[in-house]
Structure 1
Amino acid sequence: MPSILADWRHRPTHRRVWALATPMILSNLSVPLVALVDSTVAGHLPLTSDLGAVAVGSAVYALPVWSLGFLRMGTTGFAAQAHGARDGSALRTILAQALLLAATAGLLVGALMWPLLPWLIGQMHPSAALGTLGLDYLHLRLAGLPAALLNYALAGWFIGKHDTRTTLALLLVTNLVNIALNLLFVLGFRLGVPGIALASVAGEWCGTLFGLARARQALRAVAGRVDWAAMRGWSHWRPLLAVNRDIFLRTVALEAVFFSVSLLGTRLGDAVVAANALLMNGLLIAAFGLDGLANAVEALCGHAIGARDLPGLRRALVVASGWSLLGSLGFAALFALGGHLFVDLQTSLPAVRATAYHALPWLAVLPLVGVWSYLLDGLFVGATRAREMRDGMLFSTLLFAVVAWTCRGWGNDGLWFAFVVFMAMRGVSLGLIALRLQRRQAWIAAPMPG
């Protein structure tokens, strides 16, 4: 305990954590803000199917985007370790690898997704109007997929080199353009659901152009060069691809749970899926806000591992944990006291409001339960220990499936209970793995960039 108190009182670590976390909290909060604006605009259109189409279409679009989240997380870990080791050539090479992977994945996955869209929508058993609108939304959204993945790679690289202000600027450009065009296309031009999709695509590509320009500027201050000769060899790609493979499997499992919540909610009715989408916006606000501290952990822990600084690694974890707990208490109080207002701002549909009111207690509990999984994800990403993240997520996903099936007779309450159990097990499993690695004194022995 004295050691923990001493770590908490280390003011330079507090300054470093908040210097990294503040821009990331602001930028992360802009992401669910876009979803909030999307659902709010759609929620004030005349039909429940409009809001349902945006909710269902967003859930399907999130399948490739979230599944390829390794392009951000894998890049951050290796870039942070290269930054800690003061290896400019590795920093340059990691960026080149990440951008190449992102562009290739965006084109291939988009081409593969297009013919599968009717089947994916059909699995949710939507009404005819909702299914048609959701398909129209997705056909337009896929045009922004390559840009979304390039933005992942760029954001991960900037976080790894402790330049979170540029990550903030990149996401703000993406999301503010999205919001502005959303209001223009839907409220001004009356384009409806297709206008929401077009605004998202335009925002993603504007963010990519901005990020590439800032990366080019940042590289002028980084010594070294891209090792193109080494990149032609498999051995140079193996560490990055191995980490990305495991993060990919971990993210697929996570996305499967979120997709299942949308799918099972849709089967309970249009009002349920719409209400759950509104509450998920609240969870995303809390998650992305608290992820700012997790992003600081990624950068600081990766830097400490690259520099072989065990005390710095421990202090970063203690300080970030304390602030994460305080933040989760704040979000829980916000949803407990202001949940009805939060729902009312998003929709004027009586049936959707009533369903969301009933499920609000689950939303209030989630920040306290989920905060530890966010924080520990940051530790494992910074250490490039993706295999352990994968194993913890797979076990948590299996538990979700068991609980959701067992509680299927409870309706929407059973669905939310299974989701809370899933979030709790994510934190518990990663915590147990982290303690095991600590006992083996294995953290500083994490793999270095290839």
Structure 2
Amino acid sequence: MKIQQLGVILSIALPMMLSNITVPLLGLVDTAVIGHLEHSYYLAGVALGSMVVTLVYWLCGFLRMATTGLCAQAYGSGSRERMLQILVNALFCASLISLLLLVLRAPLIDFALSLAGGSAEVQQQARGYIGIRILSAPAALANLALLGWMLGMQSAKAPMWQLIVTNTLNIAFDLLLVVGLDMKVEGAAWASVMADYCGLAMALMLSRKLWLAQWQQLPSFKECRAVFNWLGLRQLLALNRDIFVRSMALQACFAFMTFKGSHLGDHVVAANAVLLNFLLFVSFALDGLAYAVEALAGKAKGEGDEASFRQLVRSCMLLAAYCAGVFSLGFVVAGDQLIALLTDLPEVRSTAQQYLSWLQLLPVLAVWCFVLDGVFIAVAEGRAMRNSMLIASLGVFFPLWWLAQDWGNHALWLAMSGFMLSRGIGLGLLYRQAIARRRWFNQTAPG
């Protein structure tokens, strides 16, 4: 691994890893705050409600991923007009989807909870949580588009500050509303809504600063209208469609774990919420490396530099393997203590400890899919991501669970482990095939 290239990777990856971990850290604080209330159904209700909202927002993750890949390529080719067009189109999509979510809020909640199951107390807490959290949709989705655009601009510090400020405020609001004002589950939901809108203000300010640093003058409203066209929007939507299907398959697996766990009892769904928060912590940290791949590999693709592209992917894979090993070792050494930090409910703690071994294994099984996701986002190949995810979910996760369902909650964790491993294997095979055929670098590099 070349020292110079390592420095470039870390200049983006480290800020993104540090800022990314504030996202699951927020979930850990939510869990710790709610997990110390007097009844487990509070924690189970937040877990269920949070999963529904996360499912909806992560289904819209294409707004970040597609924007990053396309913008990084436009940055590499030096096209100011194209970069503005991508941003305008992404924000238009975010606004349209947000409006639909707000209009359809009531039937969406009814449908999600009809699938989820759980006790009457858990359903009641989840319903209140979702009804409040969905109000943040306009800010949350616009934040995704702006985050993707800033990453495509090769900026790591701007997205870092956006995420750190947003999630630090969320934690502060959590402590104020849940602990200070005793608002319980509603307090956790309102804390997230308030933080998302503060984050949007921060993202707009940072995006403005980035644009002025690059081009000295902000685009006019007339210029924004001029670059918006249905052809460009169709290209973005075509990539978004594939990533949307991919995200739907991914979230179906996580939602299934929560929904199926709710049928196994409040203590099981609460324990799974604790362990899944740790898994999300690992995922978001490793996604920092994936973001570096998206930005740098997308730029190399725009420049037509195949050698840098391939070396970059190898270096990031090696770094990711080191990080995954550290996380697995950490869960082996301090797993019980970490669980105790999040909840003092004896039944939830003992249940979580029964399934801790799966969490200790998952980082090294899942590591490859994160970096390879970044590669395929960088080259704007949503179809390959979609197909590999469908195979991993429909061909591995659900069949594995069905075959082992007599094992109860262990079957869910077995299915998740097989799912993560198969994602990496599938994308790895597709990557090797594309590199062997030089499919991404057959065109002449832009002058």
Q: TM-score, normalised by structure 2?
A: 0.96
Q: Which of 73, 76, 96 in structure 2 is aligned with 1:81?
A: 73
Q: Which of 190, 204, 209 in structure 1 is aligned with 2:201?
A: 209
Q: CA deviation at 1:238?
A: 2.3
With 60-69 and 93-102 compared, the bigger mean Cα shift is at: 93-102
Instruction: Say if 2:261 is the partner of 1:269.
Output: no
Code of the aligned partner of 2:355: A
Partner SS, residue 20 of structure 2: helix
Q: Which of 127, 131, 135 in structure 2 is aligned with 1:139?
A: 131
Aligned pairs (5 A) from 1:299-378: 299-378=295-374
Q: CA deviation at 1:123?
A: 1.8
Instruction: Say if 2:436 is the partner of 1:439.
Output: yes
- RMSD of the TM alignment (CA)? 1.6
Instruction: Say if 2:389 is the partner of 1:393.
Output: yes
Code of the aligned partner of 2:318: G
Counterpart CA distance in 2 for 1:111 and 1:184 is 30
What percent identity do the matched residue pairs reach? 40
The runs of 5 or more residues in structure 1 that have no matched partner are 1-7
Partner SS, residue 304 of structure 2: coil
Counterpart CA distance in 2 for 1:402 and 1:391 is 17
Code of the aligned partner of 1:74: A
Code of the aligned partner of 2:269: V
| Count, aligned residues | 440
Code of the aligned partner of 2:258: S
Q: CA deviation at 1:111?
A: 2.0
Instruction: Say if 2:223 is the partner of 1:231.
Output: no
What's the counterpart of residue 38 of structure 2?
Answer: 46
Counterpart CA distance in 2 for 1:183 and 1:16 is 37
- Cα deviation code 1:47-106 (max 9, x no counterpart): 111000100000111121010000000000011001111112211221111111111111
Counterpart CA distance in 2 for 1:13 and 1:228 is 39
Partner SS, residue 253 of structure 2: helix
Counterpart CA distance in 1 for 2:90 and 2:371 is 24
Counterpart CA distance in 1 for 2:311 and 2:436 is 17
Q: CA deviation at 1:381?
A: 0.5
Q: 1:414 to 1:159 in 2, by over 3 A?
A: same
Code of the aligned partner of 2:236: L
Partner SS, residue 21 of structure 2: helix
Aligned pairs (5 A) from 1:163-312: 163-223=155-215, 226=223, 228-232=225-229, 234-312=230-308
Q: CA deviation at 1:290?
A: 0.9
Q: 1:93 to 1:448 in 2, by over 3 A?
A: farther
Instruction: Say if 2:155 is the partner of 1:159.
Output: no
Q: CA deviation at 1:446?
A: 8.5
Partner SS, residue 46 of structure 1: coil
Partner SS, residue 16 of structure 2: helix
Counterpart CA distance in 2 for 1:238 and 1:121 is 33
Q: CA deviation at 1:448?
A: 11
Q: 1:14 to 1:45 in 2, by over 3 A?
A: same
Counterpart CA distance in 2 for 1:64 and 1:408 is 27
- Cα deviation code 1:21-57 (max 9, x no counterpart): 0110011100000000001100001111100010000
The runs of 5 or more residues in structure 2 that have no matched partner are none
Q: 1:76 to 1:136 in 2, by over 3 A?
A: same
The answer to whether the Cα contact below 8 Å between 1:81 and 1:448 also exists between their aligned partners in 2 is: no
Counterpart CA distance in 2 for 1:324 and 1:265 is 30
Partner SS, residue 438 of structure 2: coil
Which 4+ residue blocks in structure 1 deviate beyond 4 angstroms? 224-227, 445-449
- Cα deviation code 1:330-363 (max 9, x no counterpart): 0000011110011000001111111100100000
Code of the aligned partner of 1:341: Q
Q: 1:15 to 1:294 in 2, by over 3 A?
A: same
What's the counterpart of residue 420 of structure 1?
Answer: 417
Q: CA deviation at 1:436?
A: 1.1
Instruction: Say if 2:24 is the partner of 1:32.
Output: yes
The answer to whether the Cα contact below 8 Å between 2:304 and 2:445 also exists between their aligned partners in 1 is: no
Partner SS, residue 444 of structure 1: coil
What's the counterpart of residue 380 of structure 1?
Answer: 376
Q: Which of 144, 150, 154 in structure 1 is aligned with 2:142?
A: 150
The answer to whether the Cα contact below 8 Å between 2:302 and 2:445 also exists between their aligned partners in 1 is: yes
Q: CA deviation at 1:320?
A: 0.7
The answer to whether the Cα contact below 8 Å between 1:384 and 1:447 also exists between their aligned partners in 2 is: no
With 360-369 and 215-224 compared, the bigger mean Cα shift is at: 215-224
